[in-house]
Copies of this chain bind each other. A is one copy, B any other.
Amino acid sequence: MGTGVRRRMGVEERRQQLIGVALDLFSRRSPDDVSIDEIAAAAGISRPLVYHYFPGKLSLYEAALKRASKDLASRFVEPAEGPLGARLLRVMRRYFDFVDDHGPGFAALMRGGPAVGSSATNVLIDSVRQAAYEQILSHLEVAEAPARLELVVRSWISLAESTALLWLDGRRIPRADLEVQLVQDFAALAAVGAAHDEETAAVLRGALRRDSASGPFTDLVTRLIALAS
C-alpha cells in the first residue's frame, strides 16, 4: 500500500512537472510550434512517456492553459484598501507581468491557438474574464451590476486584452504607460456609461465619494478639460 501511495504521488508529480515544462515552452513560442518531442526533451523523459501521462498535445496544452488561467485569475485579487485607481493600477502591473512572461503563448491563444474554439479553451478564457469582472464589481461594492455597468466592465476587460496584444506586437509603448492608461480608460468608460445610465451613475458616485480626491476620475476630468480648452 505504501508503494501504491508513492506511485500515485509520482504520477501526479510527473504530470505537474510536464505541465510546468509545457507551459514554459508554450509561453515562449507559439504553441503550434512546440512539439511533443521538445516537451519530452525539456522534461528529460521519452516521447512515449509523455503520452503515458497525456493522450496528446492538446490535452497537455489544455492542462498548461488551466494552470496559467488560475495564475492569471489570482493576480486580480487585490485588498479593498486605498484609492480605487491605485488598486486597479497594481492589478494592471501584475496583469502585464503575466502577459510579459507568457507573450507568444498569450498572443497565440487570443489570436487562435491549437485549441481555440474548443469548449475547454473557451471555458478557461471565460473563467479568467469572469474572475476579473467579479473582482472589479467587489471593489465598486456592487453585488448585482446594472446591465450598463456590466457592459462597461466587461468591455473594458476586452479592451485590456486587446491593449496587451497590441503592446506585445512590437512593444513600441512602455508597458508602465499602458498600465496607467488602462486605469484611466476604465475611469473614462465608466464615466461615459454613467452619463447614459442613472443606476451606473449611482454606483460610480458612491465609489467617487469613498475614493480619495486624487483618484482617477478627478485626474481624468482635469486632463480632459485641459485638452478641450
Interfacial residues, chain A to chain B (CB-CB below 8 A): 111-113, 116-118, 122, 147-148, 150-151, 154-156, 158-159, 161-163, 166-167, 172-173, 177-178, 180-181, 184-185, 188-189, 191-196, 201, 204-205, 208, 217-218, 220-221, 223-228
- Structural contact, B151 and A173, CB atoms closer than 8 A: yes
- Structural contact, A208 and B180, CB atoms closer than 8 A: no
Closest 7 CB pairs of A and B: A112-B117, A188-B188, A158-B162, A195-B223, A147-B172, A116-B117, A184-B192
5 contacts between A and B (CB under 8 A): A158-B161, A191-B220, A201-B227, A221-B224, A221-B228
- Structural contact, A208 and B228, CB atoms closer than 8 A: yes
- Structural contact, A173 and B185, CB atoms closer than 8 A: no
- Structural contact, B185 and A192, CB atoms closer than 8 A: yes
Q: Which among B116, B148, B166 is the interface contact of A116 at CB below 8 angstroms?
A: B116
Knowing that A185-B189, A191-B220 touch, tell me 14 more A-B residue pairs with CB under 8 angstroms: A112-B116, A116-B117, A151-B163, A154-B162, A181-B192, A181-B196, A184-B195, A188-B188, A188-B191, A191-B224, A195-B227, A205-B227, A217-B224, A224-B224
**Least distance between A220 CB and chain B CB atoms (Å):** 7
How distant is the Cα of A112 from the Cα of B194 in the complex, in angstroms?
32
- Structural contact, A192 and B166, CB atoms closer than 8 A: no
How distant is the Cα of A42 from the Cα of B168 in the complex, in angstroms?
45
Closest to A118 in B: B112
